[in-house]
């Protein structure tokens, strides 16, 4: 019996180590490549311990594409997307969770069903609409699409969160004479903090990752970091500028990894809450 327990423990640590290597080795190799001199990258075998680390790849990266504007665009889009998508989702979630109205089920079903639509079935008409409305290559246009992408799931998570909150608090507020909107803003929204922060964290990552929207709707001025990644990898059709790719990858990966390490628990809970309900 005791022997079995010991054996189990070894197995568990063994698998953890294997998974750790499979997940982290590629990440380590990307970061390692970014500080390895260019010549050594096009040599085999790979040297896994950096012998003479350098920052020249980063200098080359900054010289070859305009990262500043891309970083700014990504930041602006994410900032406004997070604020507006959260606010709109909270309003809608309150109505869905607390008001019994005609069409409520249909509207919620519409929201969720529409989120299953593959983006490929919507891009062409949106592309034309954006040309007519002069929203192409504009941060406002991209932000609008990002918000549209995030609201169904965000609303859904908030509806399920609100449904678990006891209604008695609101009733107490009503008895005290607080109006409908006052109750919503000063009683309910503060209580929703856990759901709000979880969704902000998850949505931040989804925004950082978004590729199709900027690919189609940004041409030049509104390019995001993901577009920078694409641009740098396609600079020349004949050779892969791995030293620059790994540099930009590292710049994008490090903040994401730090973010995960800090918010592991909340991300995990948020993803799992979404999983159980759907």
Partner 1 sequence: MGIITKRKALVAWILIAPVVLLRIFTALYPMTATFYYSLFDYNQIERTMDFIGLGNFAAILSDNTILETLKFTGFFTAISIALHLVLGMALAMLLNVQFAGRKFLRTIVLVPWAIPLVVAGIAAKWMFNGEYGLINDILSRIIHIKPDWLISIWGARFSVIATDVWKDTPFMAIMLLAGIQSISTEVYDSARVDGAGPWKRLFNITVPMLTPVIITLLIFFSIWRLTSFDLVFAMTQGGPGSATSLLSYRVYVEAFLNLSFGYSSAIAVFMFVIMCIVGVVGLAIHKKVNY
Q: Which of 152, 157, 161, 198 binds partner 1 (CB under 8 A)?
A: 152
Q: What is the spatial distance between Cα 181 and Cα 189, in angstroms, rounded to a whole number? A: 11
Q: Does 149 bind partner 1 (CB under 8 A)?
A: yes
Minimum CB distance to partner 1 smaller for 88 or for 174:
88
Q: Does 172 bind partner 1 (CB under 8 A)?
A: no
Q: Which of 3, 51, 68, 125 binds partner 1 (CB under 8 A)?
A: 125
Q: Does 34 bind partner 1 (CB under 8 A)?
A: no
Minimum CB distance to partner 1 smaller for 33 or for 172:
33
Nearest CA to 266 among 212, 195, 213?
A: 195
Rounded to a whole number of angstroms, the minimum distance from the CB of residue 261 to partner 1 is 6
Minimum CB distance to partner 1 smaller for 62 or for 259:
259
Q: What is the spatial distance between Cα 225 and Cα 223, in angstroms, rounded to a whole number? A: 7
Q: Which stretch binds partner 1 (CB under 8 A): 53-61, 168-176, 188-196, 249-257?
A: 249-257
Q: What is the spatial distance between Cα 55 and Cα 274, in angstroms, rounded to a whole number? A: 41
Classify residue 193 by burial, with Cβ atoms within 10 Å: 0-12, 13-18, 19+. Answer: exposed
Q: Which of 78, 111, 195, 196 binds partner 1 (CB under 8 A)?
A: 111
Q: Which stretch binds partner 1 (CB under 8 A): 51-59, 134-142, 186-194, 212-220?
A: 212-220
Q: What is the spatial distance between Cα 157 and Cα 164, in angstroms, rounded to a whole number? A: 11
- Element of type H or E holding 156: helix 139-164
Q: Does 175 bind partner 1 (CB under 8 A)?
A: no
Q: Which of 2, 101, 193, 238 binds partner 1 (CB under 8 A)?
A: 101
Q: What is the spatial distance between Cα 38 and Cα 54, in angstroms, rounded to a whole number? A: 10
Rounded to a whole number of angstroms, the minimum distance from the CB of residue 242 to partner 1 is 5
Query: Which of positions 54-73 make contact with partner 1 (CB under 8 A)?
Result: none
Classify residue 158 by burial, with Cβ atoms within 10 Å: 0-12, 13-18, 19+. Answer: buried
Q: Does 236 bind partner 1 (CB under 8 A)?
A: no
Q: What is the spatial distance between Cα 30 and Cα 253, in angstroms, rounded to a whole number? A: 9
Q: Which stretch binds partner 1 (CB under 8 A): 62-70, 144-152, 164-172, 186-194?
A: 144-152
Angstrom distances, CA of residue 244 to CA of 25, 34, 59, 79, 238: 19, 7, 9, 27, 15
Angstrom distances, CA of residue 190 to CA of 184, 187, 232, 277: 9, 6, 44, 23
Rounded to a whole number of angstroms, the minimum distance from the CB of residue 79 to partner 1 is 18
Q: Does 15 bind partner 1 (CB under 8 A)?
A: yes
Q: Which of 68, 103, 177, 190 binds partner 1 (CB under 8 A)?
A: 103
Q: Which stretch binds partner 1 (CB under 8 A): 49-57, 87-95, 169-177, 187-195?
A: 87-95
Q: Does 211 bind partner 1 (CB under 8 A)?
A: yes
Minimum CB distance to partner 1 smaller for 75 or for 119:
119
Q: What is the spatial distance between Cα 122 and Cα 248, in angstroms, rounded to a whole number? A: 30
On the question of a cis peptide bond just before residue 45, with omega within 30 degrees of 0, the verdict is yes
């Amino acid at each position: 019996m005791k022997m079995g327990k010991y054996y189990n423990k070894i197995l568990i640590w063994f698998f953890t180590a294997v998974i750790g290597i499979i997940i982290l080795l590629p990440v380590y190799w990307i970061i390692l490549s970014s500080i390895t001199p260019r010549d050594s990258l096009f040599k085999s075998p790979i040297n896994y311990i950096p012998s003479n680390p350098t920052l020249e790849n980063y200098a080359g990266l900054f010289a070859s594409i305009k990262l500043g504007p891309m970083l700014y665009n990504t930041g602006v889009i994410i900032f406004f997307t997070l604020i507006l998508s959260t606010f709109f989702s909270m309003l809608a979630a309150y109505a869905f969770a607390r008001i019994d109205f005609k069409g409520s089920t249909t509207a919620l079903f519409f929201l969720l069903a529409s989120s299953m639509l593959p983006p490929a079935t919507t891009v062409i008409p949106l592309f034309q609409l954006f040309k007519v409305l002069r929203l192409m290559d504009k941060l406002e246009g991209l932000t609008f699409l990002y918000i549209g992408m995030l609201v169904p799931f965000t609303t859904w998570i908030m509806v399920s969160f609100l449904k678990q909150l006891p209604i008695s608090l609101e009733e107490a507020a009503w008895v005290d004479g607080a109006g409908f909107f006052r109750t919503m803003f000063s009683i309910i929204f503060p209580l929703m903090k856990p759901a709000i922060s979880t969704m902000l964290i998850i949505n931040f990552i989804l925004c950082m990752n978004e590729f199709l929207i900027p690919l189609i709707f940004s041409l030049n001025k509104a390019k995001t970091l993901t577009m920078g990644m694409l641009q740098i990898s396609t600079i020349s059709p004949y050779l892969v500028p791995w030293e620059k790719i790994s540099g930009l990858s590292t710049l994008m990966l490090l903040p994401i990894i730090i973010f995960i390490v800090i918010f592991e628990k909340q991300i995990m809970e948020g993803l799992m809450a979404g999983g159980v309900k759907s």
